[in-house]
Amino acid sequence: MTRNAYLSIFFSFILELEVGMLQVKVVLITHLVTYSSFVHHGFLVFILYSRAFFDKRISQEVSGDALGEEFRGYVFKIKGGCDKQGFPMKQGVLTPGRVRLLLHRGTPCFRGYGRRNGERRRKSVRGCIVSQDLSVLNLVIVKKGDNDLPGLTDTEKPRMRGPKRASKIRKLFNLSKEDDVRKYVNTYRRSFTTKSGKKASKAPKIQRLVTPLTLQRKRGRIAEKKKRVAKAKADAAEYQKLLAQRLKEQRERRSESLAKKRSRLSAASKPSFAA
C-alpha cells in the first residue's frame, strides 16, 4: 500500500493543550497498532489510535490513558474544534455533522461584522459531538498525569505583567480597602536595560486608585455640577419672569388697541345733526 493510500485511510487531529499561559499544539495521527512520538520545534507529534474522542461532546472529559504511556493519568476536556473546511463546532448543537443555523451578531461561530442591528444570517456550523470529519480538536489539561510532557508541563513561564486595577490587586494579595496597594505593585516590578545601557524598572500604573487627590477632584466635580444646576434654575426663573412681563405688556397693548378701536366705532356710529 502506498503512503498516500495509507494516509487516506486514517485522519489527523490537532489537539491544542493549554496549561496556564502555555499552549502547545499536539498533532495526533491515528494508527492501528504502532505508536511513536518525537519532539520537533516545540510540537509533540504522536502516531496512535485515537477513537477515545469519538462520540464525545464539548466540555466532556476524556482520559489520556488511551493516548499512550506518556499521557497516563492525564485528563483532558474537549473545548471545541473544526473540520477540514474550517467550520467550527458549536456548543448545544447535538449532532456530529454540519447544520445551517440562523445566527445573529455576538453568538459563537458568527462574528457578524458589517451587519445591521438585529440582522441574522444562516451559517454552517458543526455540532458539539466529535466525529471523524474533524481536523482540529482543542483540549485543555484538567488533571496532570504521572509524567511530564516535554515542553508543556515541565517548564513554567511566569506572568510578565500583573493586574493594574486597584480592586484586582486587592483581590490578588487579599487586601482590605484600608490597605495601600501602591507598595504591592513593586512585587512584580520589571527590571530591564534600556537601549542606551541604563538600568531601569517599570511597574504598571494603578487604575481606579482612590487617593485624597481623586476624592478632592470628585468633590470638585460634584460642586461644579451643583453650581451648574443652580445657575440653570436661576436662569429658568429669570426667563419665566421676563416672559410673564412680556406677555403682560402684550396684553396691555392689545387691550389699549381694542379700546381705541371701540371708541372709533362708537364715534362713527353716532348720527351727526346739521345746524
**Cβ contact 26:44 at 8 Å:** yes
Q: What is the mean pLDDT of the chain?
A: 81
Encode pLDDT of 131-151 as tens digits.
988 999 999 999 999 888 888
The one-letter amino acid code at 266 reads S
| Those residues with Cβ within 8 angstroms of residue 208's Cβ, 6 or more apart along the chain or in another chain | 165, 166, 167
Instruction: Tell me the per-residue pLDDT of 38-84, one tens digit each, with 9 for 90 and over.
Output: 333 233 333 334 678 999 999 999 998 888 888 899 999 999 999 99
Residue 156 or residue 89, greater confidence? 89
Residue of 191 and 12 predicted with greater confidence: 191
Predicted local distance difference test score (pLDDT) of residue 50: 62
Q: What is the pLDDT of residue 273?
A: 57
Share above pLDDT 90 across residues of the chain, in percent, rounded to a whole number? 55
- The greatest distance separating any two alpha carbons of the chain, rounded to the nearest whole angstrom, comes to 146
The answer for 125, left when phi > 0, alpha when psi is -120 to 50, beta otherwise, is beta
| Higher local confidence (pLDDT), 273 or 136 | 136
Q: 146-185: per-residue pLDDT in tens?
A: 888 888 888 887 777 889 999 999 999 999 989 999 999 9
Distance CA 235, CA 225 (A): 15
How far is it, in rounded angstroms, from Cα 173 to Cα 99?
47
Contact 29, 41 (CB under 8 A): no
Q: Each residue of 202-218: pLDDT tens digit?
A: 999 999 999 999 999 99
The distance of Cα 217 from the centroid of its chain, to the nearest Å, equals 31
| pLDDT > 70 fraction of the chain, expressed in percent and rounded | 80
pLDDT band at 123 (very low <50, low <70, confident <90, very high): very high
Residues 6 or more apart whose CB falls under 8 angstroms from that of 220 comprise: none
